[in-house]
Every structure is written in C-alpha cells, then in structure tokens.
Amino acid sequence: MTGPQPVLSVQDLSIRFRMRDGAYVQAVSGARLDLAAGECLALVGESGCGKSVLASALLGLLPGNAETAGSAFIGDLDLLAADERTLARTVRGRRVGLVPQSPAAHLTPVRTVRSQLEETVRELTGVRRGPRLRAAAEEAAERAAFPAGHLDRHPHELSGGLAQRAATALALVGDAPLLLADEPTTGLDRDLVERTVDELRRHIGAERALLLITHDLAAAERIADRVAVMYASRIVELADTADFFGSPGPRHPYARGLLDALPEREFTPIPGMPPELGALPAGCAFAARCDRATGICGTRPALADGVACHHPATVPLEAPRA
C-alpha cells in the first residue's frame, strides 16, 4: 500500500545554461526530493550553489539559455514540461506561491502595497470589490506582519524588511499547496525573522508544503522538518532537522563544516572555495576542500541513505556552546 502523493516530487532535475561561447554552466545536477503535505523542507548551502535556480525552474522562470532535464511534479502536472500559459494561469500563485529573494523586483513600483494586495486577492480568491476586498487585503498584510499604516505606501518608500514582508503577504493570498520561500528573511532583524518564518510554517497546515531556501540555519532549525544541503549544484545531504542540528549531526563533511562555521559552535570557516559551476570535477565537488578525501573521491558519490559521500561522518557532532 502506497502513501499519499507528495505535494512536490523532484526527480533527477538538472539545469544548465548555455553561454555565448558555447560552454555550459551546470547549475543543478540530478536533484531529487519529495515534499509531503504538512512538511517544511529547508534547502541550504552557500551562495551560487544552485538553490535559487532550482526554485526558478519550479515556476518556469528560467532564462532562455537554460536547458533542463528530469521532472518536477506538483500533483499530476510536470512543472518542467508545462507551457507558459499553464504556468501563468494555473500554477503561479494558485498552486505555487513565491516569496522572492528580491522583493524590490517583485513589487510594482508605481502602485501602493494595498492596491497590489487587492489585485492579488481579486485574481486568486474571487473577492471583487468593496469592504470584503479591503478586509481581505488587510488580513493578508497582517498574516505577514506588514503594518497596516504602511499599506498606502509605494515600494520605494519601504525599508528592505518591509518590502520583504509585503512580498510575503502577496505570496500567502492564494493559499497555494506549495509555498516556495527564496531567502524570505533577507533584511529582517532576528525578531522579525522568527515572526516571518513562524507565519510561513503556519501556512502549511495539513494540506500544504513549504520549500524554504535560506542561508539562515537558525531559521531552518526553527521551522523545518528536514534539511537538504546543496553544494556546487548537487544535493549532498538530506536529513531530519533534529538529527542534522542535534545528534548525530550532519554526515557530509561540507554540511558538518556549515555548522562548525556558526558562531555558537566552532566558528571555524570551511577552507578553500567551491568550484566554478562551469568547471565542475567529475568526482566529488567537495574533495579539494575535504580532509577526508582519498582516491575514490575522484568518482562522483551517489546520494544514498541521505548522504552523497564516500567517507560520511559517523562520530556525533559536538553540541553548540551554551
């Protein structure tokens, strides 16, 4: 007997960009992940590892020089195979809500936040006019901790944090089955980070899922059920949050290095730099930075039992300092 169908199922997703000189940049390589209703999965990793490219693929927002392979199903719809008409009319906002990384580019600069919320409410909920429309827009703002006193301001009059909360409010309007939050805490202080991610978590309920793309490991630990670690285009570890941040801790040396770099832990940076996505090695992309590397690391490890490493850690990670 099989379980319920996942909200999102990504299988062997690869994305590369063809450059003008004919070379390719491999942004995502063979990504696999399932996201169940009621679940939050945090996708973490250094800048440039491919996290936001994966998110753009799910919304059909890749540039024209992108080439994709694999599949990404939401329900019975393969998002990678859907045409622009389908994506625009039935996916964006309705089946996938987006909290963008750059809200300034997502908000219309010549319209107030209120008018943009009301337009989104009309489009996605069927509430057309009058007090109900106004109330629905204000409720959406409140859900994202956006202050009512700023609703009649234009985006350029907002701080970065307020712009992020306005974009979050827009994403929550349609109650989409999948909420995709791409660095939703950028520019927010810690109290607002916690309030924002808590609201995103409340959005999940029993029937929805959240894919949280973030550099903020504290935010991931706070609300995620599982953590996927991405490095140099590849998912290298997938673990339950309690295991990842507690005991036994991460098993991939890179994932372990991410935690060791935190101020409340070892505060030790990972040596070296990640490889260029246009010149990825055939084997383990982390081998050049890894003190566990041996000759076998010249071959690419598969993601097996939640980790893509020939020499996964087995010793529990030291607990953070009090």
261-315 pLDDT, tens per residue? 998 888 899 999 999 999 999 999 999 999 999 999 999 999 999 999 999 987 5
3-state secondary structure the chain: CCCCCCCEEEEEEEEEEECCCCCEEEEEEEEEEEECCCCEEEEECCCCCCHHHHHHHHCCCCCCCEEEEEEEEECCEECCCCCHHHHHHHHECCCEEEECCCHHHHCCCCCCHHHHHHHHHHHHHCCCCHHHHHHHHHHHHHHCCCCHHHCCCCHHHCCHHHHHHHHHHHHHCCCCCEEEEECCCCCCCHHHHHHHHHHHHHHHCCCCEEEEEECCHHHHHHHCCEEEEEECCEEEEEEEHHHHHCCCCCCCHHHHHHHHCCCCCCCCCCCCCCCCCCCCCCCCCCHHHCCCCCHHHHCCCCCECCECCCCCCCCCCCCCCC
pLDDT at 34: 96
Which CATH number is correct for 1-95+176-317, 3.40.50.2000, 1.10.260.40, 3.40.50.300, 3.40.190.10?
3.40.50.300
Residue 177: the pLDDT is 93
Contacts with 292 (C-beta within 8 Å, 6 or more apart), sequence order: 253, 311
Domain boundaries, the chain: 1-95+176-317, 103-175
Per-residue pLDDT at 1 exceeds 50: no
pLDDT in tens, 145-202: 899 999 999 999 998 888 888 998 999 898 899 999 998 887 778 888 888 888 888 8
pLDDT confidence band for 39 (50 / 70 / 90):
very high
Sign, Cα dihedral of 153, 155, 161, 166: positive
Higher pLDDT, 119 or 125: 119
Report whether pLDDT(123) > 80: yes
pTM across the whole model = 0.89
Side by side, the strands of the sheet bearing 8-18 are 24-35, 8-18, 66-74, 77-78
